[in-house]
Amino acid sequence: MKNEPHAVDVAIGQAIRKRRLLNGVSQAGLGTQIGVTFQQIQKYEKGTNRVSASMLTEIAHALHVDVRSFFDAVDALGSNGPFRDMGVRTAEVPVTRETVSLNQAFARIGDPRLRRKIVDFVRAAAGATDENEHLQNAAE
């Protein structure tokens, strides 16, 4: 549809959001750093507004990453050409405040047996009872 954001704009926006959350920066904080409102950051992250090359460079600088890193999400859109099968998404853990916080806390746990028990607990809580997954974990 013509009114929907282009898949590339959405992928770039998701990559911006992911990096922003991983860096612990709010939308308002990023907006202040690059001279736009938090609403504009929201539009960039949703793909509603396209990010110009110069603005993407500003965002990359503010988030301390190479501008090319945002295009990894575009590369994942399709393997048979730059924009083929854009509706197909690779399985990826969504980056949210909760997942970032959980990963940061988990990384601070020094006891490997405790980490394994926590992973088992989270899988059980999520209903992950696939026998193959269980066998894979036993091999680790």
| 3/139 Cα distance (integer angstroms) | 48
Q: Is 88 inside any structural domain?
A: no
**Could you tell me which residues come within 8 angstroms of residue 83 by beta carbon, excluding any fewer than 6 positions away?**
7, 8, 77
Confidence of residue 41 (pLDDT cuts 50, 70, 90): very high
**pLDDT for residue 130 is more than 80:** no
Q: Is residue 11 located within the same domain as residue 71?
A: yes
Confidence of residue 101 (pLDDT cuts 50, 70, 90): confident
Q: Is 25 inside any structural domain?
A: yes
Last residue of a domain, one of 75, 98, 124: 75
Q: Is 66 inside any structural domain?
A: yes
pLDDT at 93: 66
pLDDT at 133: 53
Q: Is residue 15 located within the same domain as residue 69?
A: yes
Q: Is 127 inside any structural domain?
A: yes
Q: Is 95 inside any structural domain?
A: no
Question: What range defines the domain where residue 128 resides?
Answer: 109-139
How many domains are there within the chain?
2
pLDDT at 33: 97
pTM value is 0.64
Residue 12 in tokens: 């770039």
Last residue of a domain, one of 75, 101, 128: 75
| 6/60 Cα distance (integer angstroms) | 21
pLDDT at 65: 94
- Tokens 């001279």 locate to 35
pLDDT at 87: 46
pLDDT tens for residues 52-90? 999 999 999 999 999 999 988 787 776 444 444 444 444
Q: Is 53 inside any structural domain?
A: yes
3-class SS string, 47-110: CCCCCCHHHHHHHHHHCCCCHHHHHHHHHCCCCCCCCCCCCCCCCCCCCCHHHHHHHHHHHCCC
Last residue of a domain, one of 75, 97, 122: 75
